Structure 1
């Protein structure tokens, strides 16, 4: 898959593409990332990419024309038979979640537009943006961090990127966990500052371990994201044993 990033600050992406486990996805070409600066497609001596907003007010707005020429160059370079979807990171967009990430990880990619300043000329958005994505109810200085979040989430789902192929299957929100939160994790030493690892995890009894993990997943989800339990219940993902545990656990404090 290929993601083309329209950004005024391409240098911000260097650490993402060259560090950590997910760099394997970029170095191997599993996730092909290409950076495009709209300033390279602006006209005039100053290569201007923004201007004051009509109607007055603070801040600047990204010009439509350089973005149009940048997008045209990207689509010509991709040589797509069908127009590549253009995604804008924006507060009004749909909140990114695991289901959307999984869909992107199995796609041909997209063009990602990282807005800056007060935003992008609405005429360009109306004409060319096919989807808007948000990370949540807060505002960033630009779309670069949101684009990196999407790229990282997509990259780790690619085969061969993580050391353990099944690792992401046990992530929070994954269908393998019925969309619930992940369980707590522990490692050596067995006792740290007087606190021991739960005995179930050191019992060597696989069925007991799996049941403990399931119950902890249910417990954490009930405490912190109860709406996920509702979704799992409606989808028929909770067993009678799960429901019994939740009924008995409803007044418990976090582990």
Structure 2
């Protein structure tokens, strides 16, 4: 069954290349993922298909008009009943790996609305299921954020990555950052690949990777580290030095 996503945007050309390439493109070819790009201007009336206007009360910039945007949302909902419709907006809750997992489990799929200019007319909000933010910063539009959401969610759809195990031991699973990776050559400009990774001892390699993931999280993301729940095996592991793993 294909996971369906529809993006409502004023600039479909900005996202078509990215969403049609590499893993996302192959997932669509295999029928695992369906991505539809809808130009909001197609729902604007008049000769010039105007989608924005000056804000009431004055101020800089323009605001996306409610009529074309709501019409586009309603049409997308008709095409995709039950889909979650979310506006990419700095006001929304921050998108996390947990959010990606939740959205990937929503079989009815996803409708992402890409805002532009100074924002979206507030009267659009009742036609949405919520807002979603990529982080505490401002972009020129919601397209980049929407692409990030589609990428993160699609990777969790069964079959998209091919090797399902590859999505399990990644950063932010279990509130852990991912362990370091190495590949050939064994020595690069004097820096060697850790001997443990060349040992062939898979149990020892697993211990080393777990130890490194925990230590990196402690060093770089103390906020995540504070939420970790350590098993007895983890506690024994942390009591050891790296050389003794």
State the TM-score, normalizing by the size of structure 1: 0.87
Whole-Å separation in 2 of the counterparts to 1:158 and 1:24: 13
Q: Do 2:32 and 2:160's aligned partners in 1 also have CA atoms closer than 8 Å?
A: no
Whole-Å separation in 2 of the counterparts to 1:75 and 1:217: 42
**Partner deviation per Cα, 1:10-65 (whole Å, 9 max, x = no partner):** 11122122211222222233221111112111111111100000111110000000
Aligned to 1:73: 75
- In the TM superposition, 1:1-255 aligns within 5 A as 1-78=3-80, 80=81, 82=82, 84-107=83-106, 108-125=108-125, 127-174=126-173, 178-233=174-229, 238-243=230-235, 246=238
The count of aligned residue pairs is: 239
DSSP-derived class of the 2:22 partner:
coil
Could you say what the CA RMSD is over the residues aligned between the two structures, in angstroms? 1.9
Whole-Å separation in 2 of the counterparts to 1:105 and 1:85: 11
* Structure 1 alignment gaps of length 5 or more: none
Q: Return the offset for 1:186.
A: 0.6
Q: Return the offset for 1:169.
A: 1.2
DSSP-derived class of the 1:95 partner:
coil
DSSP-derived class of the 2:63 partner:
strand
Whole-Å separation in 2 of the counterparts to 1:164 and 1:150: 20
Q: Do 2:196 and 2:204's aligned partners in 1 also have CA atoms closer than 8 Å?
A: yes
* Structure 2 alignment gaps of length 5 or more: none
Whole-Å separation in 1 of the counterparts to 2:92 and 2:158: 29
Q: Do 1:25 and 1:156's aligned partners in 2 also have CA atoms closer than 8 Å?
A: no
Whole-Å separation in 1 of the counterparts to 2:182 and 2:162: 19
Q: Return the offset for 1:117.
A: 0.1
**Partner deviation per Cα, 1:190-213 (whole Å, 9 max, x = no partner):** 111111111111111122111111
